[in-house]
Amino acid sequence: MAPKPRCLVIGAQFSGSFCARELKSQFFVTVVDAKEYFEYTPGVLRAFVKPAHLDSLTFTLQPVLERKMGVKYIWGEVKELNGEKKTASIKTMSFKTVDEIGFDYCIICSGCNFGPFKPMGESLWFPTIHEEGRAVSDWKHIDERFLEGRRRHVLEEYHKLQDLNKRKATILVVGAGFIGVEWATELEHFFPDLKLTIIDFLPKCLGPLPDSAATYCSEYMNACGIKEFYNCGYEPKNPDFWKKVELPNGADETYVCIGVKASNYFMPKCTLSDKGPGGGGWIHMNKHLQVTKKPSEGGGVWADGTIFAVGDCNYGCIGEPGKWELPPVPKISYPGEEQAFHACKNVMKLQRGGSNASKNLISTWWPWGAGMFATSLGPHDACFVLGANETKGSGYMVNWWIPAALQKEIIEKTKVDECRDRWLGVLIWHFVHHTPVNLVGRGPWCV
């Protein structure tokens, strides 16, 4: 009996845990992550204003991956991926030296960072875990590779907010997308003495989402006393900017809630984009999600097509504006998991082999779930948009107020449950990505 093929999964969050669950029966799966825990990123804003909430968003990876799923987990950072040799150089937490492991297939689910103005993309919304990032971190005294380190960072920020609230400080939130709106409204609810201002360079909040959702959120913020300024770029060194946002003396604290930044430090330059959000550095892929070389390097498949990039780490689109083969996909969890499903299917097709294996691979698509956005407005209000796409103003606000807040809590609870490999969460979300017939979206009618 031939041994099972080896599949390396880089990243153990939404997409990585999905791949491990999907492939474990047919492959020897090894999952690598630079931190020891899972964190439900869409809910982490609440943790900074209510630290007890962190416990419901996180869990330690090793017991779930190794004891429940039955796959191998390595707590370490991938320093280099060699496509020619099909090896990964990994610096584990246990040793200062770098180990090298081999694989037959690899799925990159390493995500991205959220601080475009920081050299390595550091932000509150995602822990600082990479060696290069920790070297230039604003919080070097905290090691967020450990769950306890993440908890200490959350508590440190919470106590800072408490002090700002006592001083009735002024807070500027830069960016009125769903992250900025959520952060401003969370601050207003839990720290009511803060004087809050939110700005965006677009003419309304929630960017490209429908006017109904933008109006709903704007009315909520206005009723709460949050000042809004739109068509307004962030120019902290310009005195006229501060006058424009009615903060002539500046803000006591500024939170930047815009953009994303790539963190694909382990990939060869020939596979990384020269442009894109945050200055580029995103992994090029084809319609089968196989890693490719950048166009200036020929654009061919890299590593014999055995390495795939899914979710937030990849370039997110194929083609050019007006001639999209795959329009830009939002960097949120749902399309990442959908792409993980497609990549897993293609890995299995390649392994089964045959003369037409590479010709029968699944082509990824713009999933209907990529247009779902649930925006919290404090713990008791929210709005839920369905059917948005790359066209500005598209989509429909289909749920709002307390029902939408409850919906978001249910999503959070069941998704964390699924990632913990508990039966209820797995049962609920399995059929979301394994639906045999696509009635909506841009995928084929039947998979």
Long-range contacts from 330-335, C-beta under 8 angstroms, 24+ separation: 330/370, 331/112, 331/260, 332/42, 332/370, 332/373, 333/14, 333/15, 333/41, 333/42, 333/415, 334/367, 334/369, 334/370, 334/372, 335/311, 335/366, 335/367, 335/369, 335/370
| Predicted pLDDT at 435 | 77
Kindly list the distances between the CA atom of residue 427 and the CA atoms of 416, 440, 446, in Å, as whole numbers in the listed order. Answer: 13, 21, 21
Q: What is the chain's mean pLDDT, rounded?
A: 92
Does the residue 181 lie in any domain? no
Average pLDDT rounded to a whole number, residues 1-8: 86
Structural contact between residues 107 and 343, judged by C-beta atoms closer than 8 angstroms:
yes
What does the pLDDT look like over 196-228, one tens digit per residue? 999 999 999 998 889 999 999 999 999 999 999
pLDDT for position 42: 92
pTM of structure = 0.94
- Summary count for the chain: helices (H), strands (E): 12, 18
State residue 440's pLDDT score: 66
403 exposure class (CB count in 10 Å sphere: 0-12, 13-18, 19+): exposed
Q: Is the pLDDT of residue 157 over 70?
A: yes
To the nearest 10 degrees (0 to 180), the angle between helices 401-419 and 423-433 is 100
Q: At 446, is the pLDDT very low, low, confident or very high (cuts 50, 70, 90)?
A: low
CA pair distance 178, 308, nearest whole angstrom? 29
Domain-embedded: residue 272: yes
- Tokens read off for 4: 């099972």
**Encoding tokens for residue 212?**
């109904």
Tokens, residue 65: 């991956």
> pLDDT, tens digit, for every residue of 347-358?
999 998 865 767
Count of domains forming the chain: 1
Between 64-68, 148-152, 160-164, 436-440, the lowest mean confidence (pLDDT) is in: 436-440
Q: Specify the range with the lowest mean pLDDT, choosing from 68-72, 127-131, 343-347, 393-397.
A: 393-397
Per-residue pLDDT, 382: 95
Supply the DSSP string of 24-42, one letter for each residue.
TTTSEEEEEESSSEEE-GG
Identify the CATH number of the domain in which residue 1 sits: 3.50.50.100
Residue 359 and residue 366 in contact, taking contact as beta carbons nearer than 8 Å: no
Residue 73 lies inside a defined structural domain of this protein: yes
**pLDDT tens sequence across 358-410:** 778 989 988 888 888 899 999 999 999 988 887 888 889 999 999 999 999 99
Is there a domain that residue 246 lies in? no
pLDDT value of position 3: 82
Tokens read off for 264: 């694909």
Q: Is the pLDDT of residue 179 over 80?
A: yes
Check if the beta carbon of residue 116 is closer than 8 Å to that of residue 261. Answer: yes
- Band of pLDDT at residue 239, cut at 50, 70 and 90: very high
Q: Is residue 373 part of a domain?
A: no
Range of the domain at 100: 1-167+258-364
Distance CA 79, CA 294 (A): 20
pLDDT at 439: 59
